[in-house]
Structure 1
Amino acid sequence: MALYPDDNSSELEAMKKRWPKKFWPETAIFERIHPGDRIFVGTGCGEPQHLVGALKRYVEKRPNSLTGAEMIHVWTLGIAPCAEEQFRENFRLNSFFVGSRSRDAINRGDADYTPIFLSEVPALFRHGAIPIDVALVQTSPPDRHGYLRLGISVDIVKAAVEAAEIVIAQINPRMPRIPGDGFVSVEEVDHLVFCDEPLLEYHDPAPDEIARKIGEYVARIVEDGSTIQVGYGSVPNAVLACLGEKKHLGVHTELFTDGIADLMKSGAVDNSRKTIDRGKAVASFCMGSAETYRYLDDNPLVEFRSIDYTNSPLVIAKNRRMTAINSALEIDLSGQATAESLAGSHYSGIGGQADFMRGSVLSQAGRSILALPSTADGGRTSRIVPTLRPGSGVTLSRGDVHYVVTEYGIAYLHAKNVRERALDLIAIAHPDFRPQLIEEAKRMGLIYGDQAFIPGEGGIYPESLEVRRTTKAGLPILLRPVKITDEPLLKEFFHQLSDDSLYSRFMTTKKELSHPWLQEFSVVDYSKKMVILATVEDRPAGRETVIGIGQYGLLGESMMAEVAYVVRDDYHRQGVGRELLARLTHLARKQGVQGFVAEVLSTNVRIFRMFQKMGFVVEKVWEEDGVYEMRTPFGEPGEVEGGGDACRD
């Protein structure tokens, strides 16, 4: 049967002839619903609008026929009589998720919210912990074997159909037939109601510049061959839009969206590297456009499974490189987040977010990513806060978040202590709120009491200055400005330097590296000073390792800058120092610096030769106690060159 048949009359007559006892007048059907019954309604865009509307009209005419009924669902986008004042005595909503249609009623106490992992709900239905008297669902027309399909809403609907005393199905020719768990025999259904009407559609808000920037950062974290889960909203939508260049992605998710369909059409998602359900995009329900519903119809590359399968952390964890991408309302400086409520006011719900973040953490090489704008309320409120507001539900624990991403960068929290987490999160907060967060973190004892901080433009990390280079020895490195969060990396780096390297660079062999001393390198006013790190990726740990550091700082009004660099001993003679010096020269020129000055041990001939090899005119100004001042005025632009394209951005 076609998704959009031209003539429904013959099809309806054939169904009535084959199952005459299933078709009753709607009034007679609704008379079977009793006061106090628990009525389940299909999820989201799969809501049977005609059935819910007909029940509403039935009760309007007979207000005393049905009182004290409880309506149970996950999310409504359509008709919501339980949220209307006139039906207050007839229906009371009990929702497993808080959507826009039910939010006000729940927050004023006229409806109920049940916080629960959605993966647990089917078992509650089956075991009678939450009894279902009546289930109102929407299906496709039956196939020749007498099976309906739940189409875009399998999730907890399948379990509700199995557990309900009375099942009323709205047959809609527009409901796509999707492979998976959504099969329901006509024999399991008590009443059939035919109605050809457009399915509800859900359109994510168009991503703004902030969401697009967040999406670009998240795309850096997602590796080719990963299996992804993505939530709903403008930020997840922007993330999906930024994954188009990835290869061999897989999908194991709760919600199937337009963005996932686009990635499948483009070939970025082919599900070829999945550990389980290989070759299939697995989801539980869809909220999207009519175009996506058509794409899903009879698509052998997609399966919609019951939510106790899709959302089971044990199933999720079976996918290698499982990458869960979700959002939140707030995250505190220790890494715990709320996605459902703020200060006792309900906004959404637990949903499947916690299941997927936990499952991805358990997955081999898995990653959990929390992506959110740095502010709310038009920039008046920071989403990164010292502590969650009292009354806010903790949706994600501190151990379930690997990465946090805002439009200001990426914070990697996994295996970090609370002090490191706090600084990492402050570094990606909105600059307007960073000074306040620093002071609160100090007051709470989360960071050092003497932690330095550069407010204003001079302290904003200049991401645009990051460049990747390959040294003359073929070593790929990242050259980037130092961050306030780099103190642990710098401490590790300096401890690994030999006494000779320490003495040549710092004229000391002391390795007791204090916090104040390290702050001189990690806390930088970028308008006056530049510290560049050369890093490599430490596999399989997946973290950065510093192998070289270079810096310059302006000397008063002279427009000369003091310069220095040092490379880890096991990376000597690989061209790292040359790349560092070339990068520092390039950045200094752009800032208007006219040359470098350095204090050098007279025995340190390597640095003298390095400058000469790179084309600098080197002058020894004075020498005292084995130390001389070396001056290297810049010539014309282009005279000093590094390895490869080191002088180019």
Structure 2
Amino acid sequence: MPGSVIGAEQSLDLTRFVRPGDSIVWGQACGEPQTLTERLVAQRHQIGPVRCFVGIPARSILQPESVDGLSLSSYCGTGSNAALHQAGLLEIAPVHYSRIPDLLTSGPARADVVFVQVSAADETGRHSMSLTDDYLSAVIDSAAVVIVEINDRAPVVAGARTLGPGEWTAAVRSSREPAQMESAHASDVVHAVARNVASLIEDGATLQFGIGAVPEAVLRELHGRRDLGIHSGVLNEAAMELMESGAATGARKSLDRGIAVAGFVTGTRRLFDFVDRNPAVNVRSTGYTHDSAILSAQHALAAINSAIEVDVFGAVNAEVAAGKYVGAVGGAMDFLRGAAASRGGLPIVALPSSARGRSRIVAALGGPVSTPRADAAIIVTENGIADLRGLSLERRVEEMLRLADPVHRGELAAAAEPILRGEHQLTRGTVR
């Protein structure tokens, strides 16, 4: 029955709602509806073959030995997704984050079923999307089957979307701690990178930040600033600390003044308690968080993203390391372009200059081009800052060599020189 709630004492039978050949989507990271995903894995053979689109995993319920019958795809190789991809059990779709809602609501990747974790009902009888909205809102509106997990331990988070009984096919009640994600460890080098990035951020800037050690370390360097704003794909514990310190008030934001906006929340119980019924935090859809007009309208948007490697001309690989897919195209391009269009904006890509004895500033990328050199940003390492915007190829090489680890500069310069010669030949050629 549409809108029915399956009591906690009843066994959830997904075969009533999911058919062989269906495509399923569920909330990522801390927004994963764990009761539903566990039941899907347990009943996969009774249901029959289905397709699953998975986001960032906060836990490793999908293991090689438990995904037979499930055809898996994702936009990222983060966390346990990397091992599944290496085993040939997960396909990666290299897609800009802003396009994910369209992909999941039309065409061959259209979702038939969506699993959503929601909070307990508020005083109006409606349920918040809790820790994750991002691409779920679009799928809720288009999927044939919507199954919600009403988790009374999931925080009530303000946002544009709430759900009521008439908007789901079925629901199951649970009372369990949402999946948690700890902050990334930051090395001394990462802290040095973060200090250089922080030197660029002025009072009143609006911050976007990616996932990982570098963006988190940057946020922890900004407690001395005032009236910072937050408009990001993710809200993490470093951002919470920035708000608690009084540095991030959102007082100068052009839009959503006084409110931190994100697509999903990722952290531990401390963060869940912070966002619960907090009017200063909103979880919104990808159609809002990654919208180019919204981003460009933000006051002094500083987009802080990391990378696996950057070449001497400013092209970025954020997907593949040592032949393994561990990252994503993600929202970097959406935010970097938004920051470039924002008045006083800063499109920033930050990374340590080397890792495990190998330079991360390279003559030629060892993986795909996630962000092209035409969208050249402000590149930051522990060795300095290089604003590549508007620079010639020659000047870019000079600046990037300065950012590289001194141990690798000579070798890198020698490798870059013939590439630069080839670029000269290309630019002098005649297009027929």
TM-score, normalization: structure 2? Answer: 0.92
Task: Name the counterpart of 2:53.
Answer: 72
Give the C-alpha shift of residue 422 in structure 1.
0.6
Task: Name the counterpart of 1:85.
Answer: 65
- Computing the radius of gyration from Cα coordinates, the structure with the larger value is 1
Task: Name the counterpart of 2:267.
Answer: 288
In 1: Cα distance, 2:82 partner to 2:185 partner = 22
In 2: Cα distance, 1:244 partner to 1:86 partner = 44
Q: Is the 8 A contact 1:49 1:79 kept in 2?
A: no
Task: Name the counterpart of 2:233.
Answer: 254
Q: Is the 8 A contact 1:154 1:181 kept in 2?
A: no
Task: Name the counterpart of 1:302.
Answer: 281
Give the C-alpha shift of residue 202 in structure 1.
1.0
Gaps of 5+ in 2: 425-432
Cα deviations across residues 378-406 of structure 1 (Å, max 9, x unaligned)? 2x2100000112xx221112232331111
Q: Does 1:168 align with 2:147?
A: yes
Q: Does 1:31 align with 2:16?
A: yes
Q: Is the 8 A contact 1:204 1:232 kept in 2?
A: no
Distance 1:72 1:288, change over 3 A: same
Count matched residues: 421
Give the C-alpha shift of residue 27 in structure 1.
4.2
Q: Which moved more, 1:260-269 or 1:67-76?
A: 67-76
In 2: Cα distance, 1:399 partner to 1:414 partner = 9
Give the C-alpha shift of residue 173 in structure 1.
1.1
Amino acid in structure 1 at the alignment position of 2:369: V
Task: Name the counterpart of 1:596.
Answer: none
Task: Find the residue that maps to 1:254 and give its secondary structure.
Answer: strand
Task: Name the counterpart of 1:124.
Answer: 103
Cα deviations across residues 330-360 of structure 1 (Å, max 9, x unaligned)? 1000000010124753111111111101110
Distance 1:350 1:128, change over 3 A: same
In 1: Cα distance, 2:3 partner to 2:381 partner = 58
Give the C-alpha shift of residue 123 in structure 1.
2.8
Task: Name the counterpart of 1:232.
Answer: 211
Task: Name the counterpart of 1:403.
Answer: 378
In 2: Cα distance, 1:202 partner to 1:401 partner = 31
Task: Find the residue that maps to 1:252 and give its secondary structure.
Answer: strand
In 2: Cα distance, 1:436 partner to 1:20 partner = 64
Amino acid in structure 2 at the alignment position of 1:436: E
Distance 1:67 1:21, change over 3 A: closer
| Match of residue 384, structure 1, among 361, 364, 385 | 361
In 1: Cα distance, 2:48 partner to 2:319 partner = 30
Task: Name the counterpart of 1:430.
Answer: 405
Give the C-alpha shift of residue 201 in structure 1.
1.2
Distance 1:298 1:394, change over 3 A: same
Distance 1:435 1:176, change over 3 A: same
Distance 1:274 1:20, change over 3 A: closer
Give the C-alpha shift of residue 195 in structure 1.
1.0
Q: Does 1:21 align with 2:4?
A: yes
Q: Does 1:202 align with 2:181?
A: yes
Amino acid in structure 2 at the alignment position of 1:399: A
Q: Is the 8 A contact 2:3 2:166 kept in 1?
A: no
TM-score, normalization: structure 1? Answer: 0.62
Give the C-alpha shift of residue 307 in structure 1.
0.8
In 2: Cα distance, 1:231 partner to 1:332 partner = 20
In 2: Cα distance, 1:29 partner to 1:396 partner = 41
- 1:163-562 to 2 correspondence within 5 Å? 163-342=142-321, 345-376=324-355, 378=356, 380-389=357-366, 392-445=367-420
Q: Does 1:57 align with 2:32?
A: no
Cα deviations across residues 282-337 of structure 1 (Å, max 9, x unaligned)? 11101112111111111111111101110112210111211100000010000000
In 2: Cα distance, 1:431 partner to 1:408 partner = 9
Q: Does 1:42 align with 2:27?
A: yes
In 1: Cα distance, 2:326 partner to 2:14 partner = 35
Amino acid in structure 2 at the alignment position of 1:336: A
In 2: Cα distance, 1:439 partner to 1:279 partner = 50
In 1: Cα distance, 2:160 partner to 2:258 partner = 17
Task: Name the counterpart of 1:473.
Answer: none
Give the C-alpha shift of residue 128 in structure 1.
5.3
Gaps of 5+ in 1: 1-18, 450-649
Task: Name the counterpart of 2:427.
Answer: none
In 2: Cα distance, 1:22 partner to 1:301 partner = 31
In 1: Cα distance, 2:3 partner to 2:144 partner = 20
Identity rate of aligned residues, in percent?
30
Task: Name the counterpart of 1:157.
Answer: 136
Distance 1:351 1:20, change over 3 A: closer
In 2: Cα distance, 1:124 partner to 1:445 partner = 38
Task: Find the residue that maps to 1:193 and give its secondary structure.
Answer: strand
Distance 1:428 1:28, change over 3 A: closer
Q: Is the 8 A contact 2:336 2:377 kept in 1?
A: no
Distance 1:355 1:150, change over 3 A: same
Task: Find the residue that maps to 1:253 and give its secondary structure.
Answer: strand
Q: Does 1:113 align with 2:98?
A: no
Distance 1:33 1:338, change over 3 A: same
In 1: Cα distance, 2:293 partner to 2:4 partner = 43
Task: Find the residue that maps to 2:202 and give its secondary structure.
Answer: coil
Amino acid in structure 1 at the alignment position of 2:71: R
In 2: Cα distance, 1:340 partner to 1:182 partner = 31
In 2: Cα distance, 1:156 partner to 1:372 partner = 28
C-alpha RMSD of matched pairs (Å): 2.1
Cα deviations across residues 354-380 of structure 1 (Å, max 9, x unaligned)? 11011101111111111101112x2x2
Amino acid in structure 1 at the alignment position of 2:418: R
Give the C-alpha shift of residue 184 in structure 1.
1.4
Amino acid in structure 1 at the alignment position of 2:43: Y
Moved over 4 A (4+): none
In 1: Cα distance, 2:289 partner to 2:138 partner = 14
Task: Name the counterpart of 2:429.
Answer: none
Distance 1:20 1:150, change over 3 A: closer
Q: Which moved more, 1:99-108 or 1:267-276?
A: 99-108
In 2: Cα distance, 1:405 partner to 1:443 partner = 25
Task: Find the residue that maps to 2:408 and give its secondary structure.
Answer: helix
Larger RCO: Structure 1 or Structure 2 (Cα < 8 Å, ≥ 6 residues apart)?
2
Cα deviations across residues 260-296 of structure 1 (Å, max 9, x unaligned)? 1111111111111111111111111011121111111
